[in-house]
A = this chain, B = another copy of it.
Amino acid sequence: QTPAQPTRLGLCAACHGSTGHASMPGVPNLAGQQLDYLRDALKQYRDGRRNVPIMRAAIGPVSDAELDALARWYSAQSPQLQAHP
């Protein structure tokens, strides 16, 4: 069961893609990632334990409920084999 598309998805999709397949160098894929790992990572970016300014800026204003919806969305996406240059 795929969750409903989160209202804040566009914020993440610019770099991670709407289905969690990264489109930029240095950006991780999120599709199919473990839910608890994604949720913890987002909280760490939000409070600065993972000190990545663009992630802090993006996720800083996001509520716990929105954060949870984003983690669930990406965890529920199907991972796909990437092309490796």
Copies, count: 2
The reply to whether the CB of A76 lies closer than 8 angstroms to some CB of chain B is: yes
A26 to B36, Cβ gap below 8 A? yes
The reply to whether the CB of A35 lies closer than 8 angstroms to some CB of chain B is: yes
- Chain A 12-51 near chain B by CB (<8 Å), digits 1 or 0: 0000000000100111110111111100110000000111
- Of B35, B49, B80, which one neighbours A84 at CB under 8 angstroms? B35
Total number of A residues with any Cβ neighbor in B under 8 Å: 26
* CA of A25 to CA of B39, assembled, Å: 12
- Of B34, B49, B81, which one neighbours A78 at CB under 8 angstroms? B81
Q: A residues engaging B (CB < 8 A)?
A: 22, 25-29, 31-37, 40-41, 49-51, 75-76, 78-82, 84
